[in-house]
Amino acid sequence: MSFFEDDHNEPSHLKLAEFESYYKDDQYVFLSADQWEALYQYFMYEAGENDFQKVKFIIYEALSQHQYSVFFTLRMAEIHCRSNNLDQTVSYLELAKTLSPTDFDVYETSAQVYEHFKMYDKAIKNFRAAFHHGANRFDILFQMALCYLNANKKGDALIVFKKLSILQPQNEFVLDHLAMLIFDNEWYTEGLKIFGQVIDSKPYSETAWHYYGNAFAGLEQYDNALWAQEMVIAINDHNYLGHFGIANTYQEQEMYPEAIQKYEELITNFDEDSLIYTNLGYCAEKLNFFEKARAYYRKAISIDLQTPSAWYGIGMSLMAENKFKESTYFLINAYKYGKNEDSHYGLSLAQVHVRNQAYVQAEEIFETLIRIFPEEHAIWIEYSALYSEQENFEMAADTLETASFYLPDSHQINYRLAALNLKLERINKASVYLEKALNSNYKDHNLLYLFDPSIEKDKMIQSLINQYKK
Mean pLDDT in residue range 241-268: 96
CB-hemisphere CA count at 13 Å for 179? Answer: 20
Using alpha carbons, select from 136, 143, 138, 135 the residue that is nearest to residue 126: 143
Cα–Cα distance measured from residue 325 to residue 337, given in angstroms and rounded to the nearest whole number: 20
| Half-sphere exposure (Cβ direction) of 375: Cα atoms closer than 13 Å | 1
How far is C-alpha 90 from the chain's CA centre?
30
Q: How confident is the model at residue 47, as a pLDDT? A: 65
Residue closest to 90 by CA, chosen among 105, 77, 76, 109: 77
Cβ atoms within 10 Å, residue 71: 22
Please name every residue paired with 11 in a beta bridge, in sequence order, or none if there are none: 4
Q: Is the pLDDT of residue 390 over 80?
A: yes
**What pLDDT sits at residue 6?**
46
Residue 76, pLDDT score: 87
Span 330-349, pLDDT tens digits = 999 999 999 999 999 999 99
- Return d(Cα 295, Cα 290) in angstroms, integer: 9
* Domain map (residue ranges) of the chain: 400-470
Q: Is 136 within 8 Å of 107 (Cβ atoms)?
A: no
Instruction: Answer yes or no: are the C-beta atoms of 90 and 105 closer than 8 Å.
Output: no
Among 104, 43, 113, residue whose Cα is nearest residue 77: 113
Segment 282-301 shows an average pLDDT of 97
Query: 42: which DSSP letter?
Result: I
Q: Is the pLDDT of residue 452 over 60?
A: yes
Question: For residues 431 and 18, which has the higher predicted lDDT (pLDDT)?
Answer: 431
> CA dihedral in degrees (277, 278, 282, 284; nearest 10)?
20
pLDDT(188) > 70 = yes
Is the pTM for the entire model greater than 0.95? Answer: no
Q: How far apart are CA 458 and CA 36, in angstroms?
A: 83
pLDDT confidence band for 7 (50 / 70 / 90): very low
From the list 103, 127, 105, 123, the residue with the least C-alpha distance to 114 is 123
SS3 for 460? helix
Query: By three-state DSSP, how is residue 11 classified?
Result: strand
Give the per-residue pLDDT at 237. Answer: 94
CA dist 208 and 227 (Å) reads 13
Give tens-digit pLDDT for 50-108: 677 788 888 888 888 898 989 989 998 998 898 899 999 999 999 999 999 998 899 99
Residue 456's pLDDT band, with cuts at 50, 70 and 90, is: confident
Residue 280 has pLDDT above 80, yes or no: yes
Tell me, what's the pLDDT at 2? 45
Considering only residues 11 and 419, tell me which one the structure prediction assigns the higher pLDDT.
Answer: 419
Q: Is the pLDDT of residue 3 over 70?
A: no
44 pLDDT band (50/70/90 cuts)?
A: confident
What pLDDT is recorded for position 24? 73
The pLDDT of residue 11 is above 60: no
> Given this model, what pLDDT does residue 154 score?
95
Determine the pLDDT at residue 46: 73
Alpha-carbon distance of 241 to 225, in angstroms, equals 13
pLDDT > 70: percent of the chain: 94
Assign 14 a pLDDT band (cuts: 50, 70, 90): very low
Range in 16-20, 124-128, 136-140, 391-395 with the lowest mean pLDDT? 16-20
Classify burial at 466, counting beta carbons within 10 Å of its beta carbon; exposed 0-12, middle 13-18, buried 19 or more.
exposed
239 Rama class: left (phi>0) / alpha (psi -120 to 50) / beta: beta
pLDDT of residue 25: 67
Contact 79, 92 (CB under 8 A): no
pLDDT tier at 48 (50, 70, 90 boundaries)?
Answer: low
Task: Give the dihedral sign, CA 112/118/123/124.
Answer: positive
The rounded distance, in Å, linking the Cα atoms of 365 and 371 is: 10
